[in-house]
Amino acid sequence: MMQNVKINSYQFLILVTLFSIGTSILIVPSVLATAAKQDAWIVAIFGTGIGLLVIWLFCTLAQWFPHLTFIQVTEKILGKWVGKAVSLLFVFMSFIYASSLLFYSGTFLNTHLMPNTPMVALNILMAIIIVMGVRLGLETIARSAEILILFFFVLFLFLVLFISPEVKFENVQPVYEAGTRTIVQSSLSFIEVTSVNAIVLLMIFPAFINKFKQAKKSFLIGNLIGGIVIIILTFLSVSVLGADNTAAEFYPSYELAKRINLGDFIQRIEALMAALWIIALYFKTTLYFYASVLGIAQILNLKDYRPLTIPLGMIVVVLSLVIYPNVVYQQNWNATTGIFFSYSIGLFLPLLLVVVYAIRKKQLKKSPESSSV
């Protein structure tokens, strides 16, 4: 299935960058400022550094089986039945997070841009283009990302330049007041969103990428670029809005864009921020959905994943409408169940696979690699 599908390392770098940014661009500054106050940007720096270690772990695991996806690696290391059972948890995580991001998209658009449009209509429209992207295949997703990444960084540059005059350095002082313990604890949610959940990219890397060594660098560099974007936005949010206002706002980066005012001429250009977020959110949701659909196809040994896209797309829409009763429930879920679930699948599972591989190394090397991708 899809043996001929390949993307290059540059396209993969773009996908990693957009995945790392994803929902973080609007939500993470608020989460970090709630605990670390004016040191939120330091938490982002620390989290980016630790996140690169997580990505390195993924690369290490992938290099042992360069022709297999994560589902196939899991089955190979843990055995057929245990591997399939664990793989179902991985697919469930990808599917739940695809639904969760659809909820984010619908809630944001319904609250700030289209208050008179029913959320179900917004979610259906977003789901349609996600399903279209996945049905057209990984190469199409990667090529569209190549085009949209240019718009993304042009808009991001405009945002940074226009809001810079509003920066007040006294808002980030005193520096490091939160202390090491608070910074480490606060970074867990940042690492989860930007790096730990990137385990879904192992459904692409390295099986569907031309050159492994270059792709490995792309994985690390893409994650670093995504982290730098979030560091900049977090610093701007705290330095312009203040730590308390950043923590109080659910979408502080969007509020940041509202503050732009150059000579009473360039102002209220928050649509720029909305466009940034929608671009990153779309690709992150698409990659989650792609991983879950391809994962189910491989668990069931199907020849093609495309017949699954429409029915699963319908389920994603329904789930996105009922997954969270309200935003407060969603925040509590993310801080408790969500972070435990992500670390279990995105960190402890790869570590378990590394340990089991070390034990079964000789036995696994004797058996031929399966590449029924």
Alpha-carbon gap, residue 40 to 320, rounded angstroms = 30
Number of domains in the chain: 1
SS3 62: helix
**Is residue 131 assigned to a domain?**
yes
Angle in degrees, 0-180, between the axes of helices 270-299 and 24-36, rounded to the nearest 10: 100
What pLDDT sits at residue 266? 66
Question: In this predicted structure, what is the pLDDT of residue 143?
Answer: 94
- Of the candidates 335, 325, 279, the residue with the CA atom closest to the CA atom of residue 23: 279
**Residue 181 covered by a domain:** yes
Q: State the residue range of the domain holding 288.
A: 9-361
174 falls within a domain: yes
Q: Are 175 and 39 in contact (CB under 8 A)?
A: yes
**Phi/psi zone of residue 264: left (φ > 0), alpha (ψ -120 to 50 degrees), beta?**
left
Whether 368 is covered by a domain: the verdict is no
The pLDDT value recorded for residue 1 is 46
For residue 371, tell me if it sits in a domain: no
Inside any domain, residue 265: yes
* Predicted structure pTM score: 0.93
For residue 132, give the CATH number of its domain.
1.20.1740.10
pLDDT mean values, one per 10 residues, the chain (373 residues): 74 95 85 89 93 94 89 90 92 95 90 88 94 93 94 89 87 86 90 92 90 89 95 92 88 82 69 83 95 94 92 95 87 88 93 90 63 39
Q: Is residue 284 one of the residues assigned to a domain?
A: yes
CA distance 332 to 343: 16
Give the residue from 119, 223, 177 showing the smallest Cα distance to 231. 223
In a domain, 217, yes or no: yes
Q: How many Cβ atoms sit within 10 Å of the Cβ of residue 167?
A: 13
Q: Which residues of 137-160 are buried (b: 16+ CB within 10 A; e: fewer)?
A: bbbebbebbeebbeebeebbebbe
